[in-house]
Chain A
């Protein structure tokens, strides 16, 4: 069966099939869970392999040679497909890729994925259905439009670099790069390096610069809490979740956290690092045992925020001048849905920030879900898994119990923009920040409500 669009191009009707955009971690789990609930799935992937951001062969992949997990294994794996128990607590990115490849093979997902195909346009059409226009990656070949019963957006949010604007950056004669193009410590060897940003990536690169570069400055906007990856001989997040399991209230957890850091990491202002202007859990957590170590060895010089660039030097907000040869901006990424009108995701002003419920559901579009658009203080894949399970159940109930699906739709409209974390500092970095326990509890509640249990 086929109809045609306004442009006269034919539309092939894919019936009850669901379209999944992206075959990274979130896309794969969406395909698997939709299949498990009996749906046909067409998944479009612009690259030629699975794994998305974790596949270092992909040109949009942000991983660098030394990328390791920040959250430990139990928090990172899919809840129904554990990583091998002989893997380390914090596996390497190559292990992650092999994990996703095994996941795809184990559940026989590749047959549903169209590799080397990118999505150009996603448009809502009547009956809550969607027209998805695709073409070969790179723009070769004709465009093709297919009509789907539902769409899952799993195109990731860590591939479009966010570059802050600095006065004089154009006239700076040194080398400038975003962390997304940092791949290997050889790029730093023997150079005077300035690393901007104290995310987990910024801290990793600062540590590698400490080992490889001739000098390393690390510029941060504010003071942060640098949590070690191990406390009391166990992965720090497992210790933290022991408190969550005991339902210790936030204030007490913050106090215990501060106390633990004081005992283990110590007072960082002694090293010239600024005192944090916030409590823990109010910014995205940084887990890095080595940063403080290298600061203490004089291999990293912590400096304040960058004020402006001159042709050979960089001026800092405290008036100091430094002369790096290479500046690495570890300033993060912004989400991009260039194939979709912002309004669909509730972004009326075009700020690029979607307004969703559970970071996944848009008002007025009951057959649309965004999967994996979260920045948890823990692993992301379990969240993607449960988001896609919830969406699959919702789609099932749309036919079997339409009144339940309608109630869910009202809840989406009422709950847009809900947060699932402690109060966080205002920054694009925290647009999607969620506390994993708060978020998963909210999702669990939504699942029970939907099923009337």
Chain B
């Protein structure tokens, strides 16, 4: 079980450090400091920090949590990076987390959750939340191909992965909003898209963070079975929000999942034993 062992020697990473890229970091900070841990939201492929700035950042701040969202390089307002790798994205997340004033909770959405699982091996997060996680592997690819062949197939040949409205949102979301969100979508780099399928398994997390997995059984990107598998990896069961699309932070009922996350953090989850 090599993947379960902590890695001490990372000669390649030391010898070829990741190149820095300008990062967009959006934030909403409560007016009064309340000794709650900062949250760092990590958007998935195609999304930028804007996806969290829409509702979740402000809501978390109103409940006393300093909230930040980073755009992976090549996304949102961060520097363009057509050749970025998963490792570069991980670098961006670890840098953003270590740059916060206090030990942060990492919240990853979609493929951003995969990036978070890599980041957890390089930064001892206080806790981690995986929202509708796309942890990669061929099963994800199969689902995407079945649900959205037109958007997925070109990605195999290096085009951007296109997600459609029906995958991302429920029917409850107003048309105008849905159109606006879809028009803001960008794309991840070709290499990173492939690495999502073929890349290495994440190394074990450092600092034993408690992990929460949540999603929707009606998500058309991440099937319910994938949610259960992801949660089982961290010895828990997923929290489910039926009737929502993949983009839980933008869908009409965005308030429910973020409240569940903040409630979970408020009761101060213990570190797992071991």
Chain A residues packing against B (C-beta within 8 Å): 36, 38, 73-75, 79-82, 84-86, 105-108, 238-239, 241-242, 244-245, 386, 389, 437, 440-441, 443-444, 447-448, 453
Instruction: Report the Cα distance A265→B229, complex, angstroms.
Output: 57
- The 4 A-B pairs at the shortest CB distance, nearest first, are namely A245-B11, A85-B20, A444-B8, A241-B15
Asked if B124 contacts A447 (CB within 8 A), the reply is: no
Q: Are A85 and B11 in contact (CB under 8 A)?
A: no
In angstroms, Cα B122 to Cα A38, docked, is 20
Binds A, one of B53-61, B98-106, B168-176, B210-218: B98-106
Cβ A448 vs Cβ B20 within 8 A: no
Chain B min CB distance to A75 (Å)? 6
B11 close to A244 (CB less than 8 A): yes
Can you list 28 contacts pairing A with B, beta carbon distance less than 8 Å? A36-B124, A73-B17, A75-B14, A79-B10, A80-B206, A81-B98, A82-B95, A82-B122, A85-B17, A85-B20, A85-B91, A85-B95, A105-B102, A106-B102, A108-B102, A108-B103, A238-B14, A238-B16, A241-B11, A242-B15, A245-B12, A245-B15, A386-B8, A437-B11, A441-B8, A441-B9, A447-B8, A448-B5
Interface string of B1-41 (1 = CB under 8 A from A): 10011111111111111101000000000000000000000
B146 at interface, CB cutoff 8 A: no
B94 within 8 A of A: yes
Which of A86, A106, A443 is B20 in contact with, Cβ under 8 Å?
Answer: A86
Tell whether, in the assembled complex, residue B103 and residue A107 are in contact, meaning their CB atoms are under 8 Å apart: yes
Name the residue among A36, A239, A440 with the largest chain B CB count within 10 angstroms.
A36
Interface pair B122/A80, CB less than 8 Å apart? yes
Q: Which of A74, A245, A386 contacts B17 (CB 8 A)?
A: A74
CB closest chain-A residue, reference B22: A86
Q: Which residue of A lies closest to B125 (CB)?
A: A80
How far does the alpha carbon of A244 sit from the alpha carbon of B4 in the complex, in Å?
24
Q: Is B191 an interface residue (CB 8 A)?
A: no
User: A81-B98, A106-B100, A245-B12 in contact; A453/B5 too (CB < 8 A)?
Assistant: yes
CA distance A107 to B125 in the complex (A): 10
Residues of A contacting B122 in the complex (Cβ-Cβ under 8 angstroms): 79-80, 82
CB distance from B25 to the nearest CB of A (A): 13
B6 engages A447 (CB within 8 Å): yes
B8 CB, nearest partner CB in chain A, Å: 4
Q: With A73-B17, A80-B123 given, name 17 new contacts (CB 8 A).
A: A36-B207, A36-B208, A74-B14, A74-B15, A74-B17, A81-B98, A85-B17, A105-B102, A106-B100, A106-B102, A242-B16, A437-B11, A440-B9, A444-B7, A447-B6, A448-B5, A453-B4
Q: Which residues of chain B are within 8 angstroms of A106 by Cβ–Cβ distance?
A: 98, 100-103
The docked-state distance in angstroms from the alpha carbon of A441 to that of B9 is 7
Cross-interface CB contact of A82 among B11, B98, B102, B271, cutoff 8 Å: B98
Interface of B is mostly: loop
Q: How far is the CA of A242 from the CA of B6 in the complex (A)?
A: 21
Chain B residues with Cβ below 8 Å from A105 are 101-102
| Closest-CB distance, B121 to chain A (whole angstroms) | 9
Residues on the A chain within 8 Å of B5, using CB? 448, 453
Contacts of A444 in B (CB 8 A): 7-9
Once bound together, how far apart are the Cα atoms of A82 and B98, in whole Å? Answer: 7
Complex Cα–Cα for A238 and B16 (A): 7
Contact B18 A85 (CB under 8 A): yes
Which residues of chain A are within 8 angstroms of B271 by Cβ–Cβ distance?
38
- Name the residue on A nearest B271 (C-beta): A38
CB neighbours (8 Å) of B14 from chain A are 74-75, 238, 241
Q: Provide the B229-254 mask, 1 if CB < 8 A to any CB of A, else 0.
A: 00000000000000000000000000
B108 CB, nearest partner CB in chain A, Å: 18
User: What residues on B are CB-neighbors of A245 within 8 Å?
Assistant: 11-12, 15
How many angstroms between the C-alpha atoms of A85 and B7 in the bound complex?
22
Most buried by B among A81, A239, A437, A448: A81
Which residues on the B side are within 8 Å of A82 (C-beta)?
94-95, 98, 122
Question: Which residues does chain A contribute within 8 Å of B10, judged by CB atoms?
Answer: 79
Chain B proximity of A301: nearest CB distance (Å): 37
Question: Is A74 touching B13 in the complex (CB atoms < 8 A)?
Answer: yes
Contact residue among B9, B15, B207 (Cβ-Cβ distance under 8 Å from A80): B207
CA distance A51 to B125 in the complex (A): 23
Interface string of B81-108 (1 = CB under 8 A from A): 0000000000100110011111100000
Tell me if B11 and A238 are in contact (CB < 8 A): no
B230 smallest CB distance to A (angstroms): 23
Task: Decide if B1 touches A453 in the complex (CB within 8 Å).
Answer: yes
Q: How far is the CA of A80 from the CA of B97 in the complex (A)?
A: 11
From residue B252, how far is it (CB to closest CB) to chain A in Å? 37
On whether A80 and B8 interact (CB within 8 A), knowing A73-B17, A105-B101, A105-B102, the answer reads no
Q: Which of A80, A238, A244, A444 counts the most B-chain CB atoms under 10 A from its CB?
A: A80
Contacts of B103 in A (CB 8 A): 106-108
> Who on chain B is nearest to A36 by CB?
B207
Give the complex CA separation of A153 and B109 in angstroms.
43
State A238–B207 Cα separation when bound (angstroms). Answer: 27
Expressed in whole angstroms, the minimum distance between the Cβ of B208 and any Cβ of chain A is 7
Which A residues lie within 8 Å of B17 (CB)? Answer: 73-74, 85, 238
- Per the bound structure, the CA–CA distance linking A79 and B102 in Å amounts to 17
Closest residue of A by beta carbon distance from B208: A36
A441 and B101 CA atoms in complex are apart in Å by 33
A437 surroundings in chain B (CB, below 8 A): 9, 11
Residue with the greatest number of chain A CB neighbours at <10 A, chosen from B9, B16, B20: B9
Chain B contacts for A36, CB-based, 8 A: 124, 207-208
Complex interface: chain B residues within 8 A of A440 (CB): 8-9
Q: Are B124 and A80 in contact (CB under 8 A)?
A: yes
A438's nearest neighbour on chain B, judged by CB, is B9
CA distance A245 to B15 in the complex (A): 8
Q: In the complex, A81→B124 CA distance in Å?
A: 8
Tell me, in angstroms, the Cα distance from A239 to B206 when the chains sit together: 28
User: In whole angstroms, what is the CA distance A444 to B10 when docked?
Assistant: 11
Closest CB-CB distance, B122 to chain A, in whole Å? 6
Residue numbers in A under 8 Å from B12 (CB-CB): 245
Q: In the docked arrangement, what's the CA distance between A73 and B14, Å? A: 9
Across the two chains, which residue of chain B brings its CB closest to A445? B8
Q: Which chain A residue shows the least CB distance to B270?
A: A38
CB distance from B196 to the nearest CB of A (A): 23
> Within the complex, what minimum Cβ distance (angstroms) separates B170 from chain A?
38
Residue ID in chain B nearest A246 by CB atoms: B11
Q: Which residues of B contact A84 (CB under 8 A)?
A: 95, 98-99
Closest to A238 in B: B15
Alpha-carbon separation in the docked complex, A128 to B166 (Å): 64
- B9: A residues at CB distance < 8 A: 437, 440-441, 444
B208 proximity list for chain A (CB < 8 A): 36
